[in-house]
Each structure stands twice: as C-alpha cells, then as structure tokens.
A and B are shown apart, each in its own frame.
Chain A
Amino acid sequence: MSIDFRTNEEPEALSGFEHPVAATTKRLTRGQLIRRRFFRNRGAVVGLIIIGVLVLLALFGQYLLPWKFDQRDLGQYYKPPSPQHPFGTTQAGFDVLSRTVRGLGKSLIIGFMVAIIQTTLAALIGSSAAYIGGWYEKAWLWVIDLMLVLPSFFLIAIVSQGGPKGNYAWLLLVVLLAAFGWQLSARVVRSLSMSVKEREYVAAARFMGLSTPRLLVRHIIPNIASMLIVDVCLGVGYAILGEAGLSYFGYGVQAPDTSLGTLISEGAQSTTIAPWIFLAPASVLVLLVMCVNALGDGLRDALDPTSLSGGQA
C-alpha cells in the first residue's frame, strides 16, 4: 500500500491527469465529480446496466414472450429447457421464463416501494428527532429500540396470515416490510443530522422564522441526501430478500400472483426431477440483489468525499 503525501493540493486540481489538454486549474462541479467517480467503478456500472435490463424486461417482457405467466402449455409437463420454453416448464405446464419475468416484476415493485417508504420514514423521523430533541427524541429512540427487539419476520408472518387476502394483499406486505425496515437507518440519519443542525445557516433559517418541518426538508435532509440515496439502493436489496424469504414460507405474495420468492419455494419442491424450475428464479434473484448491492456500494464510494476507493477525480 502506498502512502499518499499530497495534502496541500486540492483533489479537483488533479483532474488534469484525465484531460491533458485542459488547463490543470479547470474546476469540476460536484455533479461531474460524483459522476466521474461512479463511472470509474466497473462493478457498479455493470450493476446499473443489468438492473436497467431487468427493469425493462419486467416492464415489457410480457408483451415480447410467447407465453403468459398463467397460461398452460397442455401436455408439456416438467419439460427441460428447449427453444420453445427457454427455461423449461413446470409441473402444471406453465412456462418458467414468463413466470420468472412476472415474479421479477413483482419483486422489483415491492423492493423499490419498500425502500423508498422506509428511507422516507427514516429521514423524517431521524432528522426531526435530532433537530427537536428532548422528549420527542427520547420517545423515538425508545420506539426504535422496541421495534428492533421484536423479531420482525414472525410479526409480519402473523399479520399476513391473519390479514386480508386477494389481489392487493401484497400492498400490506409492502407496508409491513417498510414498517420494520426504517429503524437502523433512522439512527444513522439522527447522528448525521446532529452535526448538521449546529451549522450557522440552520440557525439563520430558524431565526428568520422558518417552521420546523420546512427547515428539516429544506436545510437538514438535503445535507444527508447522499446517505439517503445509498440507503434506498441497499434497501431495495434487503426488501427483495425479505419479501422472498417470507414468500418462501408462504407468508408473502399469494397465488395466483407470484414473486421470485414464491417461484423459488415452488421450484424447491422438485429440484431432483426438474431443477430448472428452481434455478431460473433463484439465479435471477441472486443476480438482481448482487447488482443492487454493487450499485449501492458504487454510489456510496462516489458520494462520500472522504472515500478513496473511487480513485482521485
């Protein structure tokens, strides 16, 4: 490992290495800097591209594929992959590829919705707790501790066992996953906001008479935006795995609808005679979560000004 002794020079001034033609004093905006740091991370870029492809597939796949997810090819039971059914067929003659695409779509929707809701909750609760302080802060910290003590898996399973069934039951699952997902992020948001709230411009805004909610949204939350972006991204991965885990035990997305977790648990019952039913959704799940994690890591390195893993920009 080499030790870096350049401390007097500003990192921006080094951009000259990238563009020999430009003068060494050329300044980059923060956006350009982040973009450059991000695109230098090959894993994250590949992750972003694959996620893009998977999202497009989930959106438009059903129009391109010859089979519908709930359409049986009668007589074609437990058929291994063939040109007609690239990922094979199930016990009932369903096309595994179109079911995987359908399940991918549901997993993606759930993942994104949960991640956005839980990060929003974490941002609002964490920053308001830090800013308002006093009993309000104590109460929220206590609620966070309480919710961390409860084993969320069992509680979500209880509610979805006793809860409503039907086409929109998965929305309840989204709410539950988000309700048990914001606590750790809220703690991080709170400790970051603690230092932001001491800044002069926050005091200035307060003395100008800005209301607390507005002050939080305008002056505190934007300052921790980079952490929140990374949190959403990693939250998508956790939520997809969480949903798949619940669906694996039958407490998640219910038939006739399907998600990657539901498909994996169906496929797991026939791995010895028809492994493709299991392998197709399982590999898509692993690929998706891998890409989301790589993207999150890349974003963190690009957004964190102290991180060296993006190289000098």
Chain B
Amino acid sequence: MVKYLLLRIANYALLLFIAVSLAWVLAQTQLHPRQLFEVRTPPLDPKSIENILRAANVSDHVPLWDRYTTWLRGVFLHWDWGTSPGGGDVGDEIGRRIWVSFRLVTIGWLLGTVIGVALGAWSAVRQYRISDRVITALVLILVATPSYVTGEVSKMVATVINKQVGFQMFLFLGEKSTGTLPNYPLADVVDRIQHMVLPTLVLTLLGLAGLQRLQRGLMLDALGSDFVRTARAKGLRENKAVMKHALRTALIPTGTYFAFQAATLFVGATYTERIFAFQGMGIYGVDTISKQNINGVVAVTAFGGLCYLVGAILADLMVAFLDPRVRLS
C-alpha cells in the first residue's frame, strides 16, 4: 500500500513538473510584458524597461533556456516564484488569495454536496413520481446554467428585494464593507454574512445540480441490484433496505468525488469571484493573463495542477478506504 502510494506520488510529481514547465514555456512565449512598459506616458527609457524585465526574469532578450534555469533555481532553491511586472511577490499574493477563495467556496461547496446527495438519493427512491420529475427538471435547468448567469440573476433578484425591504439586506461587492460599520454588537460578522449569502447560494446551486444527477443515477443502479432485491425478498423493511444496503453502496463513488473536490476548493471559483468581486485565486489567474504577469500565471497553473493531483490521490485513498472490493496490496 505504502509502496504503491509512493510510486504514485513520484509519478504525479514528475507529471506536475512537466506540466508546469510547459505552462511556463507557453506563458513566456505568448505573453508580452514589454508592451506594458512601452505604452507608458511619459515614455520609459528602453534600458530601464530592460532592467525591470530582467529583474522579473521575463525579458524576451534573454535566451529562453537561461530564463528557464533562472526560474528553476528560484523555485527549487529558494521557493521563490518570482515577481509580477509591477513588483510584488507572486508567492505572497497567492498565499493570501488561497484563503479568500477558501472562505468563499467552503460553505457553498458543503451545502451543495449535502443537499445534492440527499436530493439525488431521495428522487431515486421516488423515481417517476411528481417529486422526482420536478427535482430532475429543475436540476436539468441548473446544470445547463453557467455560474455567471446564476450569479447575475441572483444579483438582479437581490437588488429588487433590497428595494422592496428598503435597506441593503444583501451586499454583493467583496468580502466585507470597506467603510465604517453600524454601531451594534457583532456588526462585522453580520456584514460578512450579508456579503456571503449570494455567492454561497450560487455555489450551492452549482454543486447541488451536478451531485443530484450523479447520486440519482448511482442510487438507481444500487436499488436495482441483486443484493438489495435479496434484502427485500428476505423481508427487510423498505427503509432499512434503502438506507443500509442501497445508499451505502451508492455513496462510494460520491465519496471519491467529494475527496477530489476538497483539494480543488483552494483554486477558487473564477466566475463567482468576478461577479461578487472577491479577490481570490481564480480571478488572480485571469488577471495575471490580462496583465501579462508571466510569473503569476505560471504559479497559479502550478497551484491548480498541485490541487488536481492531491485531489486525485485523496480520491484513490477514499476508494481504498470505502470500497471493500478494492485491495491495493
């Protein structure tokens, strides 16, 4: 088991190294930070532009291979992921934004998972009844709706509600208000909650839709399987047959999915971050590209890849842990 895991991790480390190197080459050849400085008014002297670019290791006058070795040395010897063209350490920026994304995503993700699994299992038990049909139809709409549409619509509805109730019940700019807060106990907590309601709702709906579909299918398979039929034929009560025999089996693949997603929480929800103005990881990735920040986008890619692989390992472990049919030794 341990040997298997170590081999797997070594393979993943190699994979990640090559993937990030490819992303690095792509970013270095496709992004042009020089343009940022050339359009400045008053114009900068070409020599000082070159110095700024060389300091960030993004000058296209330095051979690609030299830039690559400099970058590798920085990352492996000093854990230094470089700076953005405007100065500012990329590693620090990411370290800060990871937690913004985490705070934004966690509650919505947990709610979405729990509600999605419950709805999926419930609608499978009630297959083809009205409740199943209504849930399945709503989920079909939700699955087809990208988060930026859900997000914008939720903002539009919230604006109407705010107008109706006469005060700002829902807030949707950033994590918390920047001005002075009203003077009552726990005002800052209330303020944060007001900011969190809408993005959490959007993320919940997003997660719920996918999981309901997944869980309903798995549950239907489990309900139709021989061992559940046997359990019923032996006279087990309906509830017990469903909960103990069918649901348990149907939860194994969901468990892997859950483990995989747990690792990707930190990468953030790019669209939700944009719509609700959270300064998280996802939006940082987009901003680094539009701002020609080569080191930034490489670091985001590396972090995203790392999360993906940690998720894959967690999912493997989860299968081994949950599914009695899997033996790794």
Contact = CB atoms under 8 A, between A and B. Distances in A.
Interface of A: 1, 3, 43, 142, 145-146, 148-151, 153-155, 157-159, 161-163, 237, 241, 244-245, 248-251, 264-265, 268, 271-272, 275, 278, 282, 285-287, 289-290, 293-294, 308
B308 A149 contact: yes
Say what secondary structure dominates the interface of chain A. helix
B127 A286 contact: no
B270 interface: yes
B152 A154 contact: no
B231 interface: no
Contacts of B104: none
A161 B294 CA distance: 12
A155 B263 CA distance: 21
Contacts of A163: 30
Contacts of A237: 144
Contacts of A1: 127, 223-224
A159 B297 CA distance: 12
Nearest to A151: B304
Nearest to B306: A149
Interface string B22-61: 1100110111100000000000000000000000000000
A272 B172 CA distance: 13
A150 B286 contact: no
A286 B145 contact: yes
A289 B15 CA distance: 34
Nearest to A275: B156
A43 B308 CA distance: 35
B305 interface: yes
A158 B127 contact: no
A154 B304 contact: yes
B140 interface: yes
Contact of A154 (B127, B146, B274, B300): B300
Given A245-B146, A249-B286, A285-B149, A159 B30 contact: yes
A46 to B, nearest CB: 11
A308 to B, nearest CB: 8
B26 A264 contact: no
A124 to B, nearest CB: 23
Contacts of B5: none
Given A158-B289, A272-B159, A290-B141, A153 B270 contact: yes
Contact of A151 (B32, B155, B301): B301
A261 B121 CA distance: 34
